[in-house]
Amino acid sequence: MSKKKRNGEQFNIRISKEAKDKIVANAKLLEISQAKYIEKLALEGCKVIEIRNDEFVSYMEQQEAVLNKIGINLNQIAAAINSGKANIIDSNMSIFQSAIKAFGIYYSKIEQNTQKIELTT
């Protein structure tokens, strides 16, 4: 009969049911074992753990092309204005307004899709 060799040390403690439930839930959200979760807290002393939202990441990756086009347009307008070939006219201002609106939408999406677990000590 072969015994499986385990890595690491065993550490037994008693905690409240609420604390255990929180550890179980947080480890599940992070998709790591409870032991890894507790070890990470002990070694790194982190207060906030970011949780990856794959649906949001996919959405933002799709929007990257849109953001690149906006950036190219803004750079072209700025270059033309700086070289004296163009003035700030209404059509240029509408592009700036569209960019501001787009960035506002992206910022609000980022805020809505950022999940955090606050760990208090």
- What's the pLDDT tens digit per position in 45-85? 766 556 667 777 788 788 888 888 888 888 888 888 888 77
The pLDDT value given to residue 80? 81
Q: Which residues contact 47 (CB under 8 A, 6 or more apart)?
A: 118, 119, 120, 121
Count other C-beta atoms under 10 Å from residue 109's C-beta.
Answer: 14
The pLDDT value given to residue 109? 80
What integer best gives the mean pLDDT of the chain? 78
Band of residue 118 on the pLDDT scale cut at 50, 70, 90? low
For the chain, the structural domain boundaries read 17-46, 54-114
Q: Which residues contact 34 (CB under 8 A, 6 or more apart)?
A: 23, 24, 27
The pLDDT value given to residue 15? 92
pTM: 0.41
Band of residue 9 on the pLDDT scale cut at 50, 70, 90? confident
How deeply is 99 buried, as exposed, middle or buried, from its count of CB atoms within 10 A (0-12, 13-18, 19+)? middle
Percent of the chain with pLDDT over 90: 7
